[in-house]
Structure 1
Amino acid sequence: MAKSLRSKWKRKMRAEKRKKNAPKELARLKQALSMDKKGDAVMADIQDIVTVVPADKIKKQTDVGEMEGEDGKMDMDSKRNKITQLNENGQYPVWMNQRQAKKLKGRRMAKKNGHSKKKKGLAW
């Protein structure tokens, strides 16, 4: 998708804008790190504001965290029915669109009534 002339032009212009603003952005970043005047950031000044942690220490922590007992699962709503996707109040999840909800409701009602809706089309 996104192959129209308009989107190509927009992408080109965004790239031009990034090129134009890159020096200003870099200068602003250096000023924020107080590198502009001294040529090197003073870690003592930065440590007052933020906690500086070496990258290798962070990598070791993530490796150990994966090895221990972390499943990496998201906190899901445990009171939701896996088949119908309804919670205890009869509500569908917020991410589900109306078409999907209607389809699931149709399946539920067909199961409840004991007969399924006949499909449209040729019956051979």
Structure 2
Amino acid sequence: MAKSLRSKWRRKMRAEKRKKNAPKELERLKKILGTNADVVMEEVKEVATVLPPQKVLGQQADDCKMDVDNKRNKKTLLDQHGQYPIWMNSRQRKKLKAQRVKGKKKSKLAKGLVW
């Protein structure tokens, strides 16, 4: 959508307006933070524990690992419970299941009696 001349013009004018008002907004933000910065920081220190950035980044690296994908078979895309991913549609599931069943039948034939 949003490809008409009118919408392009509006986007262009909004961008120019942002450029024009950016210095005023920045000045206003600095003014607000300049007067209340000490008060705000004291309130934050009472509520939250302040940690150095290195310690926080180290914790985030450990916490960000997702163990959900690690328990999924990469070839069949089945998880430990035998379920396919949510994003996979029924045709893909059917196709992968057919490949699995086909592979199992071949191995059973090889183990059978040979006359």
TM class, shorter-length? 0.3 to 0.5
Larger Rg: 2
The structure with the largest helix share of the pair is: 2
TM-score (norm 1): 0.45
